[in-house]
Amino acid sequence: MAKSCRVNVVEAKRSLSELLGRVAYGRETITIVKRGRPMARLVPAGGEIGGSIEAIKGWLNNDDPFFAIMEEVVAERHSHRPRVSLRGRR
C-alpha cells in the first residue's frame, strides 16, 4: 500500500523538490493543505488513472456538463491576464 501524508502550503513551497522525489521514487501520495483544508494532491505519474487520459475514456457521456465547463475554462485561459507579483520588486 502506498504511503500518504499531508503537508501545508508553506512547507510544500519550501521543500517541493524533496516532495516530488518522495512521490516519484517513494510512490507516496502527498496532500497539500491550506488552513487544514485539502487544496491539491501530488501523486505518482500514471499512478491513479493508468497514466493517460485515454484510461478514463468512457467514464462520462459525451453530453456530460463536465465537457462544457472544461471548454469555458480553456476559453477563459486565453483571455485571462495573470496577476503580477510585486514581491521582491521594492
User: Considering the domain boundaries, does residue 60 fall inside one?
Assistant: yes
pTM over cut 0.75: no
Q: Percentage of the chain surpassing pLDDT 90? A: 32
User: Considering the domain boundaries, does residue 20 fall inside one?
Assistant: yes
Q: Which residue range is the domain that position 45 belongs to? A: 4-79
**Low-confidence winner among 9-13, 15-19, 37-41, 50-54 (lowest mean pLDDT):** 50-54
Q: Which three cell numbers stand for residue 17?
A: 523538490
Residue 64: partners with Cβ closer than 8 Å, 6 or more residues away = none
Query: Which pLDDT score is estimated for 25?
Result: 85
**Low-confidence winner among 16-25, 27-36, 50-59, 74-83 (lowest mean pLDDT):** 50-59
User: Considering the domain boundaries, does residue 84 fall inside one?
Assistant: no
Count the domains in the chain: 1
User: Considering the domain boundaries, does residue 89 fall inside one?
Assistant: no
User: Considering the domain boundaries, does residue 43 fall inside one?
Assistant: yes
The rounded distance, in Å, linking the Cα atoms of 31 and 87 is 27
